[in-house]
Amino acid sequence: MTATLTAAELDSADPLARLRDAFHLPGELYLVGNSLGALPKSAPDYVTTEFERWATLGVEGHFTGELAWKDYHALVSDQLARLVGAGRDEVVAMNGLTVNLHLLMISFYRPTPKRHKILIEAHAFPSDHFAAESQIRQRGFDPAQSLVTLAPRPGEETLRVDDMLATIAELGDELALVMLPGVQYYTGQVMPMATLTEAGHAVGAVVGFDLAHAVGNIELDLHDWNVDFAAWCTYKYLNSGPGGVAGAYVHRRHVNDQTLPKLLGWWGTNPSTRFEMATDFDAIDTVESWQLSNAPVLAMATLRASLDLFDEAGGIGALRSKSERQIEFFDRRLDEVIGDRVINITPRALEERGCQFALRVTAGDGKRVFDALEGARVLCDWREPDVIRVAPVPLYNSFSDIERFVQILDGIVQ
């Protein structure tokens, strides 16, 4: 569809183009939603509403009206469930991403002398590596023996599916947990989550995913994929703002399993008796039983503003459809204008990538190129050792943004 159309023609035909006006877009070009999403213009109104409720209701705001703070987290449950392909009872907004990973690993990493290994990727985001390593140590095991890492083959940038499956099979009954990203943060590679889950379960392992770069970027179907657990942040593609509240998912078959170890908090107990202040924990029969504390309402208000725009767009399916058109257009213009002066190490196949492009300057002066882009107020980001990450986000980036980026990049790498 994009083979001959110009950016202007594609923008003119884009049914979601109107959503661009719903965001504040810093700089000349904002192409870094994979790191921090743009601010929805409606977000301050959502927050102001809570300030006004606080000012007029005080403590009664916890219990008053449809926005009662004691249930505020539930206001986003249906929307998050749609984004990750889960039931309302399987998702909750709470904490930060790494906190949620730790809480979930307490429940789902249950090592034995025989089955104690965790499989992650060699180039995992540091938080994931640290979390897995510390969980292993907390259980009395040695990361040198219990932490297994997957790496691409020499000379390659991304993981091969066959290699991932072979490693899972080889670890067999020593493998306790597979914990991989939904989308790899550096290369932008989409992992075959359904296939990996099936393979992990086949050898008796639990399978969980860090969806920081996947949620709001690609279509997910966690429940039907049979994924055991997942966690994600919301400040990237979900535009909740710096340090925004995170999300967690637990498959329905686990949510009411009271044999699972977990850390307990007041907000995980039965809400109908919570304020009786009893000290017998009566677990909520949903993923909400993993909650420790009440919702950070002011932070969650900005997430509500963004999720309402996802609904206005028609959901993640409509956004992914636009994203695929933008990816194809971006690929074409890089090929036509930039050629081999810059290579994209993100997989070429649409099913293996989200909206992020991981660009490497073949002359080896990528940091100079990045600094020049930054000097031109083209906002993308740099990841060591040599990748410029660029992410046209379908909620607010246009085809013309992509065209302008290619033209600016062309001038810099000349």
Q: 150 pairs with which residues across the strands? A: 121
Mean pLDDT of 117-132: 96
DSSP conformation class of 123: T
Residue with tokens 């993923």: 287
The secondary element (H helix, E strand) that includes residue 181 is strand 175-181
The helix-helix angle for 297-313 and 77-84 (nearest 10°) equals 50
Enumerate residues 6+ apart whose C-beta is below 8 A from 13: 5
Buried b / exposed e over 42-69, threshold 16 CB at 10 Å, is bbeebbeebeebeeebeeebbeeeebbb
- How many Å apart are CA 148 and CA 166, to the nearest integer? 13
Two tokens, residue 353: 């990538």
The CB-side HSE value for 393 (13 A sphere, CA atoms) comes to 31
User: Tell me, what's the pLDDT at 203?
Assistant: 98
Query: Does position 42 have pLDDT exceeding 90, yes or no?
Result: yes
- How many Å apart are CA 212 and CA 82, to the nearest integer? 16
DSSP secondary structure string for all residues of 347-400: -SSGGGB-S-EEEEETTS-HHHHHHHHHHTTEE-EEETTTEEEEB--TTT--HH
CA dihedral of 332, 337, 341, 343, whole degrees rounded to 10: -10
Two tokens, residue 311: 């609904």
Question: Is 318 buried (19+), middle (13-18) or exposed (0-12) by CB count in 10 A?
Answer: middle
**Residue range 1-12, pLDDT digits in tens:** 567 899 999 999
* CATH 3.90.1150.10 domain extents, the chain: 7-31+315-413
What are the C-alpha distances in Å from 169 to residues 149, 161, 190, 197, 209? 14, 12, 21, 12, 18
User: Tell me, what's the pLDDT at 3?
Assistant: 76
- 48-311 is classed CATH 3.40.640.10: yes
**Residue range 368-395, pLDDT digits in tens:** 999 999 999 999 999 999 999 999 999 9
The pLDDT mean for the chain works out to 97
The pLDDT > 90 percentage for the chain reads 98
* CATH 3.40.640.10 domain extents, the chain: 48-311
DSSP conformation class of 183: B
User: Tell me, what's the pLDDT at 1?
Assistant: 56
**Residue range 273-301, pLDDT digits in tens:** 999 999 999 999 999 999 999 999 999 99
Query: Does position 341 have pLDDT exceeding 60, yes or no?
Result: yes
Q: How many helices (H) and strands (E) does the chain have?
A: 14, 15
User: Under CATH, domain 7-31+315-413 is a member of which superfamily?
Assistant: Aspartate Aminotransferase, domain 1 (3.90.1150.10)
**Residue range 222-261, pLDDT digits in tens:** 999 999 999 999 999 999 999 999 999 999 999 999 899 9
Which of 177, 170, 164 has the alpha carbon at shortest distance from 133?
177
Question: Is 115 buried (19+), middle (13-18) or exposed (0-12) by CB count in 10 A?
Answer: middle
